[in-house]
Amino acid sequence: MRGRWGELTLRRVAELAGMSAHCDFAEQASFDTDEGRGRPDMVVRLPGGRTIVVDAKAPLGDGLEALEMEAGSRRTTALGQHARLVRRHVETLAARSYASLVPGAPAFVVLFLPSDALLAAAVEGDRSLVESALQRRVVLATPATFFALLAGVAQSWGQERLSQGAERVAALGQELSDRLAGFTDHLARLGSAVAKTVELYNAALGSFDARVLPHARRLREAGAQGRKELVVLAPVEERPRDPRGEPNEAIDPP
């Protein structure tokens, strides 16, 4: 139950820090080391593919007993034993070399103690414990300090998401600009085709007015009048405007 206490507290701190999505609880994963099989309780994923390995299996029995004792020799002995067991666990973690076993792991491991009082008891039993652990690249953390660590990581993830969002917006903006340029080219070619069509229509209408219509009038005057009146057609004056230029700017046909 003491072991589960550490693991459950570790999970709860990750939830409170908003880091559940970036914390892998490697409860079934294990790694072969020179010191035996190693199994981290948590792997915290950092932006950029880095990770932090967390272990919550520190011995707690003597520390809990010492916290319940009154000041005296028995309490001092229990504190010293608690500090020795924690130091031994630090040495075990340092020897496992998680940094070379877990993909993306940094050069340190977090040893999680589920209570600030347990860390204080260990330091009271061995004043050099924290410094010695840091020299071995092992960081002693409690719920409060580990929450602060995860909160900083969560902020880094937030900045990472903002950066990725900005890059995504820039990429989408560039793609939209390219598509607009391509669509404008299509419109320009269509406008040129329309302008050419207008030119051909007006030319055909001019030929009709000059060559066909006079002959039709002479036929009518000679008595060959049809049942329908001839419709007078007007030339098309509107020109398509250039999507790349000013409104109503004529497009020169290709």
CA distance 197 to 237: 12
Beta bridge partners of 65: none
Of 27 and 227, more confident: 227
Full set of structural domains in the chain with CATH: 2-141 (3.40.1350)
Instruction: List pLDDT tens digits, range 166-225.
Output: 677 777 888 888 888 888 888 888 888 888 888 888 888 888 878 777 877 777 777 776
Q: What is the mean pLDDT of residues 50-67?
A: 75
CA-to-CA dists, residue 212 to 104, 206, 220, angstroms: 86, 10, 13
Continuous segment of H or E residues that includes residue 64: helix 61-68
CA 37 to chain centre: 34
pLDDT at 248: 47
Residue 246 above 60 pLDDT? no
Residue 99 above 70 pLDDT? no
pLDDT at 250: 47
Q: What is the mean pLDDT of residues 224-238?
A: 73
Residue 27 above 50 pLDDT? no
User: Does the predicted model carry a pTM greater than 0.95?
Assistant: no
pLDDT at 48: 75
Query: Is the Cβ–Cβ distance between 220 and 229 less than 8 Å?
Result: no
Confidence band for 20, pLDDT divided at 50, 70 and 90: low
- DSSP string covering 90-131: HHHHHHH-HHHHSTT--S-EEEE-S-HHHHHHHHHH-TTHHH
Q: Identity (one letter) of the amino acid at 209?
A: D
pLDDT at 146: 87
**What is the overall mean pLDDT for the chain?**
76
pLDDT at 183: 83
pLDDT at 107: 66
Query: Is the Cβ–Cβ distance between 10 and 24 less than 8 Å?
Result: no
Buried b (16+ CB within 10 A) or exposed e, 79-118: bbbbbbbbbebbebbbebbbeeebeebeebbbbbbbbeeb
